[in-house]
Amino acid sequence: MNDNNDIQFASDLRNVITRLIKKLRKESPTGSQLSLTERSTMALLYQNKEMLPSELAAAEMITNQSMSQVLNHLSELGYIIRRASTTDKRKVNISLSEHGESTLLQFRHERDEWLANAIAKACAPDEQEVLRKVIAPLNKVVDLK
């Protein structure tokens, strides 16, 4: 491939992945009440069990003030728990509530179910196999530092 073809391939891949992500966001009635940052914050808490607001803000690449707004909304919905740190009373640890965890898993399931059905309807078995094979190389790209 020459440079122009490489750039066009990258552009085409980016476009289709972006469209798929947007489509998946719309296919979860449970997740539609939350912003992308709110859903991502919940996923971080699910992964890490407990984090400081400043750690969440850094991971999401937003200001502490913006993260405070995100956490306030998640708290209003009953999705998170705030606990004073046992080592430093000035700090507050954030974790998912049971309701938050079940909601996160529900909207993940809704998106997974939609995608599985869409792949089954839109793709022939040989195309489905191509999609299975592309997962490993895409993970390598995502994990590249």
Per-residue confidence (pLDDT) for residue 33, from 0 to 100: 82
Domain ranges, residue 44: 34-96
Q: Are residues 85 and 44 part of one domain?
A: yes
Per-residue confidence (pLDDT) for residue 2, from 0 to 100: 64
Q: Are residues 82 and 110 part of one domain?
A: no
Retrieve residue 131's tokens.
């999609």
Per-residue confidence (pLDDT) for residue 75, from 0 to 100: 97
CATH, residue 52: 1.10.10.10
Q: Are residues 142 and 126 part of one domain?
A: yes
- CA 10 – CA 17 distance, rounded (Å): 11
Per-residue confidence (pLDDT) for residue 32, from 0 to 100: 77
Single-letter code of the amino acid located at 94? I
- Is residue 103 within a helix (H) or strand (E), and if so which, with residue range? helix 98-122
Backbone angles phi, psi at 40, to 5 degrees: -65, -40
pTM of the model: 0.79
Spans of the chain, pLDDT less than 50: none
Could you report the per-residue pLDDT of 128-138, keeping only the tens digit for each?
999 999 999 99
Q: Are residues 15 and 39 part of one domain?
A: no
